[in-house]
Chains A and B, each alone.
Chain A
């Protein structure tokens, strides 16, 4: 498949998804609308990781940390300080941005597995901290009755209005991703992800660019975290469990690193697939993870991945099961 064909397919998949999103509130059940709202908010987090990992190539588990800054920021600034929910959302995003700069400068000097390890520790620490810091976060009970976002007299406090808000935010984040990906900034990220020394030799300050990706991703993840808490009007440690960050990574790997359509598709698959399999009872997880394994084996770079190398997992397969490399030599 040539890059142009792939881009065309991706475009039509995006158009189809947009049509589904527009039609769903009219034809879908309340459960579908709820699940699609969750999909939009997770897709936003996946988009934020897609900037860090899909474009800049940095394996980071820090996304739930920034979601937590947004979530707890929104909850605390509104309930404890009485701030307007929009102001709380914006302030939290700035806080996440600042945190990313402080964490990012030392961490992003690390290469490869060290960054993954350090951010994994950060994700574990975030969950433990919000559970343990009872005076601030109310521990495992969490904070409820977070006031809704409002525009004038209109409050986003029902499922339909929040559905619209979350998809507007999600599509906005995808727009930011697309603008960045097609700019010299996005190309610099992709360059340093595949050849750090070449990028340096061309004048790209790789640490600065990695920190930039990390900070933009942090701000987007924080906004998604705020919106999620505004959606359920509740925040608690379980929202930032280590399982969540693994899910977000899985969504990106299934959808396709670096792609435009991948994050939404990955988020939708991981939100809806468990429900389709609910009838299987105790075999549900077995079938689900079997399916995931199969998907990763056959599409190592994800459904819409830009990365075209055979994944290391694919190399474990017997040759007749591997994908044939498309010969695209000029």
Chain B
């Protein structure tokens, strides 16, 4: 299992006449960060939707280890250890910050209905252990002071961190981050980068989708560049960096001639 990776092979998704994702292939190994970049409408979020089961591919295969994800429901995919965040960071409203992260730990509860109703010692022990690890997570994300606040009252940056804390709480093997740096200030961006490195070192594979190209280049071990639904470049960051098609897609032909400022 340690060599497990998330693999997309020849995945295509159409919406009516529009081909949102066209014959896309890439792999996200556990313990590595794979960047996925591309201009608006390139199909990055659609790719995350396809892997997480909210969308069904028209053709191609998506596999994790020996599991075929295209046949599974979103919740079953999550239970395999594939977690995601949403581009529009949104809290579970009416639940406190603490409870939001507790819900992220849902798959770690094994107590059934009967043991909940009679409060068996095992169920209570399990619940208190989970509460303890949620406290640790909140501390890691700097959300501890707001634990009891309604999650809707968080600032934008805090909400992003809450969303990531909730998604990492299930201890996924693969975490897909849909524009996690969007709208964050420089300090928060630095904290986010440190957290991503930390999770990678703990063995989580990450698919990092973002508009902030330098941010992605600085963090990822390998990457895929999409434009209009297709892969235009892939490989390690240095190879991608030198690829003229990427510079053209991103910066236009004129800027492609200049020395890049990334890294």
Q: How far is the CB of B98 from chain A (nearest CB, A)?
A: 11
Residues of B within 8 A of A201 (CB): 52, 74, 78, 83-84, 86, 167
A15 to B171: give the CA distance in the assembly, Å: 41
Contacting A184 at CB < 8 Å: which of B74, B86, B93, B102? B102
* Pair count A-B, CB < 8 A: 108
What residue in chain A is nearest B83 (Cβ atoms)? A201
B116 touches A185 (CB 8 A): yes
Contact A191 to B103, CB < 8 A, known contacts A201-B84, A205-B75, A307-B94: yes
Contact A191 to B92, CB < 8 A, known contacts A179-B119, A330-B153, A330-B154: yes
Residues of B within 8 A of A306 (CB): 94
Contacting B104 at CB < 8 Å: which of A179, A194, A202? A202
Chain A: interface size category:
20 to 34
Q: Does A322 sit within 8 A of B, measured CB to CB? A: no
Contact A184 to B109, CB < 8 A, known contacts A198-B86, A201-B167, A308-B150: yes
Residues of B within 8 A of A330 (CB): 145-146, 149, 153-154, 158
Q: Does A144 sit within 8 A of B, measured CB to CB? A: no
Q: Does B67 sit within 8 A of A, measured CB to CB? A: no
B84 touches A187 (CB 8 A): no
Q: How far is the CB of B146 from chain A (nearest CB, A)?
A: 4
B107 touches A203 (CB 8 A): yes
A184 touches B92 (CB 8 A): no
Q: Does B113 sit within 8 A of A, measured CB to CB? A: yes
Residues of B within 8 A of A197 (CB): 54, 74, 86
Contact A202 to B103, CB < 8 A, known contacts A179-B117, A184-B127, A329-B153: yes
Question: What does the 1/0 interface line of B157-182 toward A look like (CB < 8 Å)?
Answer: 01000000011001000000000000
A330 to B74: give the CA distance in the assembly, Å: 33
A202 touches B106 (CB 8 A): yes
Question: What does the 1/0 interface line of B38-69 toward A look like (CB < 8 Å)?
Answer: 00000000000000111000000000000000
Q: How far is the CB of A79 from chain B (nearest CB, A)?
A: 32
B167 touches A184 (CB 8 A): no
Chain B: interface size category:
35 or more
Contacting B148 at CB < 8 Å: which of A4, A187, A190? A4
B residues 120-164 touching A (CB-CB < 8 Å) = 127, 130, 145-146, 148-150, 153-154, 158
What residue in chain B is nearest A180 (Cβ atoms)? B116
Contacting A308 at CB < 8 Å: which of B52, B94, B119? B94
Q: Does A279 sit within 8 A of B, measured CB to CB? A: no
Q: Does B4 sit within 8 A of A, measured CB to CB? A: no
What residue in chain A is nearest B153 (Cβ atoms)? A329
Contacting A194 at CB < 8 Å: which of B94, B105, B167? B94
Contacts beyond the supplied A198-B92, A202-B166, A328-B153: 5 A-B pairs with Cβ under 8 Å:
A185-B116, A187-B99, A187-B102, A201-B83, A309-B93
Q: Which 9 A-B pairs have the closest CB atoms?
A: A203-B78, A200-B74, A330-B146, A203-B107, A184-B109, A183-B116, A329-B153, A203-B79, A191-B103
- Please report A residues at the B interface, Cβ cutoff 8 Å: 3-4, 176, 179-180, 183-185, 187-188, 190-191, 194-195, 197-206, 212, 216, 306-309, 328-330
- What are 27 residue pairs bridging A and B, where the CB atoms are less than 8 Å apart in the complex? A179-B116, A179-B117, A183-B116, A184-B106, A184-B111, A184-B127, A184-B130, A185-B113, A187-B99, A188-B106, A197-B74, A198-B92, A199-B103, A200-B53, A200-B54, A201-B78, A201-B167, A202-B167, A203-B75, A203-B170, A204-B106, A205-B75, A212-B113, A328-B153, A329-B153, A330-B146, A330-B158
